[in-house]
């Protein structure tokens, strides 16, 4: 898994506004609107505690402060605990936190202590990026391409199937692909198909996963994957609308999904 670096989180405030503008232009809704529509929830007076975690590669200097900024942007009250790890957890609960957010190198969770809902960033991110792709107002059909069927891609593919889209998917891992065929009924996508898509949900940790043969002119690519799967020259040549940022949209989805 690609780990976030402080550079990814620079200019967060500007990025949050740009995300909303982009989302509105593509779907007619801003990120809050998409989250409310997805989960049928609105923030109330939930207090979110963010706990720094030292395990594995340890603290990423801007991770928890960026999370706090995002939590507040989406209408929640939040605080970062003074201490990390178990001491931070004790502090969070003692201070009356309703929702706990924390991440080690493997999993990033939001847990609502009041209603017992818990979500991973993988699932919440997959669902919202897939949902954004599916809301593309200029889409020519209900055909949608999912690239990558790991934890993020699978969750997004599942959401799209449940939403009634014709989901095509590819993954170099044959077992992942077969699982999605068997459990979700997706159609395996093969580049020999010569089929082009106006909606693409990309969920891989790799660059250059999107090639010219896959996409229509003026398509939408929605991707949380770092690095971006869309080569810039293909994006320009095909006038692709691109939704991609490292953290905030997935975090909004996590929060709205547990309230
Ligand atoms: O508390 C800390 O500062 C660290 N233990 C945080 C570690 C986070 C590691 N995870 C990532 O960098 C991301 N892959 C998770 C969020 C990505 C959103 N797409
Ligand atoms: Mg990628």
Tokens of 101: 């957010």
Decide if pLDDT at 6 tops 80. no
Q: What ipTM is given for this predicted complex?
A: 0.94
Residue 256 CB less than 6 A away from ligand 1: no
Task: Tell me the ligand closest to 153's alpha carbon.
Answer: 2
What confidence score (pLDDT) does residue 8 get? Answer: 66
What is the pLDDT, as a whole number, of residue 191? 81
Instruction: Report the candidate in 242, 255, 248 with the shortest Cα–Cα distance to residue 16.
Output: 248
* Mutation choice for ligand 1 from 108, 224, 245, 254, CB with most ligand atoms inside 8 A: 108
Q: What percent of the chain has pLDDT over 90?
A: 90
The band of 11, judged by pLDDT with boundaries at 50, 70 and 90, is: confident
pLDDT over threshold 60, residue 13: yes
**198 touches 219 (CB < 8 A):** yes
For the segment 33-67, what is each residue's pLDDT rounded down to a tens digit?
Answer: 999 999 999 999 999 999 999 999 999 988 999 99
Domains delineated in the chain: 6-120+249-258 (3.40.50.12150), 123-244 (3.40.50.720)
Name the percent of the chain lying above pLDDT 70. 97
Chain centroid, CA 49 distance in Å: 21
9 lines ligand 1 (CB under 6 A): no
Summarize the confidence of residues 65-88 as an average pLDDT: 96
Question: Which ligand 1 atom is the nearest neighbour of the CA of 125?
Answer: 19
Determine the Cα–Cα distance for residues 77 and 7; give it in Å rounded to an integer.
25
Among the bound ligands, the one closest to the CA of 61: 1
For residue 180, pLDDT over 90 is answered with yes
Residues 174-200 have a mean pLDDT of: 95
CA-nearest residue for atom 11, ligand 1, is 3
What atom of ligand 1 comes closest to residue 104's alpha carbon?
5
pLDDT band at 10 (very low <50, low <70, confident <90, very high): low
1 has a pLDDT exceeding 50: no
What is the per-residue pLDDT for 184?
98
Atom of ligand 1 at shortest range from CA of 56? 5
The whole-angstrom separation of Cα 219 and Cα 95 is 47
């Amino acid at each position: 898994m690609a780990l976030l670096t402080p550079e990814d989180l620079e200019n967060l405030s500007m990025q949050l506004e740009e995300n909303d503008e982009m989302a509105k232009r593509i779907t007619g809704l801003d990120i809050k609107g998409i989250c409310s529509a997805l989960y049928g929830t609105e923030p109330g007076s939930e207090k979110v505690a963010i706990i720094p975690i030292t395990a594995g590669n340890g603290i990423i200097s801007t991770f928890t402060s960026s999370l706090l900024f995002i939590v507040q942007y989406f209408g929640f009250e939040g605080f970062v605990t003074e201490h990390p790890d178990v001491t931070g957890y004790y502090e969070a609960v003692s201070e009356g936190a309703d929702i706990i957010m924390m991440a080690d190198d493997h999993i990033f969770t939001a847990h609502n202590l009041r209603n017992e809902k818990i979500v991973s960033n993988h699932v919440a991110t997959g669902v919202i990026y897939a949902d954004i792709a599916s809301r593309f107002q200029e889409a020519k059909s209900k055909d949608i391409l999912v690239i990558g069927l790991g934890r993020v891609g699978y969750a997004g593919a599942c959401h799209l199937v449940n939403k009634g889209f014709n989901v095509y998917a590819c993954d170099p891992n044959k077992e992942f692909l077969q699982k999605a065929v068997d459990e979700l009924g997706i159609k395996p996508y093969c580049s020999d198909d010569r089929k082009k898509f106006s909606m693409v949900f990309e969920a891989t940790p790799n660059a250059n996963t999107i090639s010219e043969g896959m996409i229509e002119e003026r398509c939408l690519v929605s991707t949380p994957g770092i690095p971006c799967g869309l080569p810039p020259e293909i994006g320009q040549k095909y006038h692709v609308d691109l939704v991609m940022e490292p953290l905030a949209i997935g975090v909004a989805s996590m929060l709205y999904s547990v309230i």
